[in-house]
Each structure stands twice: as structure tokens, then as C-alpha cells.
Amino acid sequence: MIRRGSGILLHITSLPSPYGIGDLGPDAYRFVDFLSETQQSYWQILPLTLTCPAYGNSPYSSFSALAGNILLISPDRMVKDEFLSESDILEVPDFPEDKVNYDSVITYKEKLFNKVYVINKEKLAGHHDFQKFCSENSFWLDEYALFISIKTEMNGLEWGEWPSELRDRKKSALKEMANKMNENILKEKFLQYIFSKQWAGLKNYCDSKNIRIIGDIPIYVNYDSSDVWANPEIFSLTDKKEPSYVAGVPPDYFSSTGQLWGHPVYNWNVLKKSGYSWWIKRIEHALTLFHMFRFDHFRGFVGYWQVHSSEKTAINGKWVEAPAVDFLNTVMKHFPEISIIAEDLGIITPDVKEVMNKFGFPGMKVLLFAFGEDLPTNPYAPHNHITNCIIYTGTHDNNTIAGWYKYELGDEDRKRVCEYIGRDITDKTIHWELIRLAMMSVAEMAIIPMQDILGLGEKARMNLPGTQKGNWEWRLKSEQLSQALIKKLTDITKIYGRGQQS
């Protein structure tokens, strides 16, 4: 495990920017400066993959497990890299500062992307860096660009509903479509190149400031994705290429009917025969983007909740065993120095803990889960923490600390929190009390959502599981990173031995 430190959870979309959504431009670099100035060591983000309004703009539902989210491309950096001129980005709609309006952002950026492609397309055949990017990423980029282009031609239709020769990937049909959609395919590859170039610049800047990026890899991928279309054999599909079984979780803290994600589950027997090659390539790609990453829903690698595709909720599912040890042995053989965080929230059985302990993967402790009636023995309570774990005040799926304290706790719960901390607390002061508990924990790493550092209420919540609208929209304002906040966060980071220089 890495040395003691702390960091902030803030997705790229939540950064300030004049262009309606956080991006990889100047404000991302300023945020890295803020992390460095406050002695943080880590910046945790959500998946960088493409989002889509049809799936609620969730970074956990994407058309590709590997393609970058082009909405994060910075217009300013495109000018800096001489793909556009200053005059090309002068006209900017009046976007809201405090939240992302995805429909408006998509409309604006699509126009900009069309413009940048038209300006640069004649140079791409002789553009060494672009050609090198295409060659090095061909294992996913070719299929993704073709998939998105066919999808455009089919007016957004899911691939399972395409004409059978395209659905079933008949060579002659794919070749014909590739010729027909050649311009669109080239444009999609060019946009992925721009994203990759901008991300590499930001990652290098993080390196220069000793900030390590923690990425997030969702265990599952969308059915309507280039991954499932191009690799149907590694997923549980019918003869008609429809999902047989889909993934989810049984009823839990978040939902009385469980969560039905709808993503097809893996055919682990086929994956195993290939040496898990699809997963190895996916992880290898992730390690070019992040210094370390979180395996979202880690327990799915040990045993997963499988629900028949005809079900409307996740209640009537069953647990199915997966070859966790064999898979993870293969991963460690390919990447012996890898740092993996296991998202182990929810129903965690002894076999999952056994696998985590075998490989030394740190799990997650969430303070918002600590203060029930079982407080003395609750594993999330600070006095029960172990060193090899990551302490969070909350995650992107939780309410903010202030929102949780004000709206989700009963009188007895609040009393318990106050008794644990040793003084009376209000919803205005609770956030720093829990941040202090996280910082003083023996856990090697403490990660605090930016909303909690700012003490924001439930309107600043990033995601409410089980709902489709109003999520993933919250944004930070530049002026919120005040000198007073910088001093307070720096002091609390240093006093508990988490500072970069400690």
C-alpha cells in the first residue's frame, strides 16, 4: 500500500469552466494547484468514459469501456494545441455556472467538434502523432469508431436492433459501412486523439505536483456498446445477441428492490480460455490514464448477482460464482506493481474478504455508514479501521455530509454522532467534524468529496442511485476555492500526518 496521505473526490465534469461542463482545460490545472497547495496527494475521479443522455449522463453507462468522454475536451486547449484559433471559440452560450446542462453542452460541443475536424482533416494522413495514436489504440479504437458511426447512421438504434448482417458483424456488411462512413470514422478517431492528448497533458502536470490520479473502472459495460457488439462471445447473450442475464445488486441500503443495472453479465468460461485478454487490455489502457484505480463493485469478480433479462427489478436474482483468484492472479502476473482499490460496499460475504486479503487490496470505509445502533462494532466507525483501507466521508452515491445529517438521520442517530464526537453539532458544522475523523483515522488514505469540504447541502449531491434525472450535474465554482478554505484544509491535512511534506 502507498504511504499515508489524503485527497479529494471530484469528477472532471464538476470543475469550473466557461463552456458549460468541467473539462481538461485551465481550471483542471488550477484544481491540481489547489490540491498541491493544500498538501493533498490524490485526486479521485469517476470513469472517464463517454456519457449519453439516454442513460442519464452516467459515467457508469457508456458506449465504450475505453473511449474517452469527448465532452471533457477543452476548447482552450484545442487553441493552445493549434487545432483551432482564438476566433473559433469566441461565441459561447450563456451556460449555468453551478450545474451541467448536458443537452446544451452537447449541442455546443458538437458544433465545435465539427469545426475542428473540418479545419484539420486534410492534415491527418500525415499527422505523425495522430497516426501513432490510432495504431497503438487500434484494438479498441477501430471497433469503437465504426460502432459509433453505424449508430449515427441508424439514428441511435441499439446495435441489437440493427440489420442482422451488421448486428452479427458480417465482413462484407462491415466493410461496406466502413467505406460509407469513412469521414465519420476519421472524425471520431480524431476526437479520441484530442481527448487523449489533453488528458496526457493534465496527467503529466499531476506528476509534476506529486498528485496521483485514482481512476474508476466499472466492472460491467453497457449492452449497447462497442465492447459487447465486437466481443459477444464474452458476454451472456442469446442466439439473437440479446442479453440472457443482466447484472445488478439485491435489495440493500440504497434500494428496497435492489438495483437492476441492465448490463449483460460476463461469460467467465470464455474469458478464462482467452487468458482474460479483453480484461488485460482494458486494465493496460487504464494504467496509461491513472496512477491507480478503484474496481467498482469488486464483489462481482468473486460472485455476482445475476437477474434474468425479463425481470423488472433486481429482487429475483441469484448469486453466481466467478473465477476471482484465477483472474486476479493473471492480472497480477501482467501488472505486478499495480495498485487496486476494491469497492467493497454493500453485501460483502467472507469469500470476498478472503480474496481481498489474499491480494492485499484495500477496501473502502464510509463514515456516513458508521453511526447506526451497532456503532461500537461497526467496521466503518473510525475506532475499528485498519491501516490497509481507504476512508471516505461519503462517495458519489451518497448524500453530502450536511444533507445526510439534516435529512437522513433521526434524533437518536444525531445524538449518537454527537456523543461519538464529544460535543453538540449542527448541519452547519458536521462536515468538518467528519472530515477530522477521516483525517485522524489510521487508514493509509483519506478521500473527501469536494462537496463535503465545502459543507454543501443535499442539492450538491452527485448521484441518487435508482433515479435517472438530475444526477451528475453538480459543479464547483472557482470562487469557492478561497484562501480561508485552503488554509483550513492544509492545516487539518498536516496535523494528522497526511501532508505531502510530512
- Measured CA to CA, the distance from residue 28 to residue 263 in angstroms comes to 32
Residue 366 CA to residue 438 CA, distance in Å, equals 9
User: Dihedral through CA 403, CA 407, CA 408, CA 412, nearest 10?
Assistant: 120
User: Which among 188, 224, 227, 343 is annotated as catalytic?
Assistant: 343
Q: Is 82 a catalytic residue?
A: no
In the set 158, 165, 311, 397, the catalytic residue is: 397
**Residues 64 and 74: beta-carbon distance below 8 Å:** no
Q: Would you tell me how many other CB atoms lie within 10 Å of the CB of residue 336? A: 7
| Cβ neighbours of 134 (radius 10 Å) | 19
Q: Which of 27, 76, 227, 296 is catalytic?
A: 296
Transcribe 253-302 into DSSP letters. Answer: SS-TT-EEEEEEPB-HHHHHHTTSHHHHHHHHHHHHH-SEEEEETGGGGT
Which residues does residue 249 pair with via DSSP β-bridges, in sequence order?
Answer: 259
For the chain, report the end-to-end CA distance as a whole number of angstroms.
17
Q: If 0-12 CB within 10 Å is exposed, 13-18 middle and 19+ buried, where does residue 469 land? A: exposed
Do 124 and 190 meet the contact criterion of CB atoms below 8 Å apart? yes
3-state secondary structure of 343: coil
* Three-class HEC string of 387-446: CCEEEECCCCCCCCHHHHHHHHCCHHHHHHHHHHHCCCCCCCCHHHHHHHHHHHCCCCEE
For the record, the C-alpha cell of 33 comes out as 494547484
Q: Is 397 a catalytic residue?
A: yes
Residues marked active site are found at: 296, 343, 397
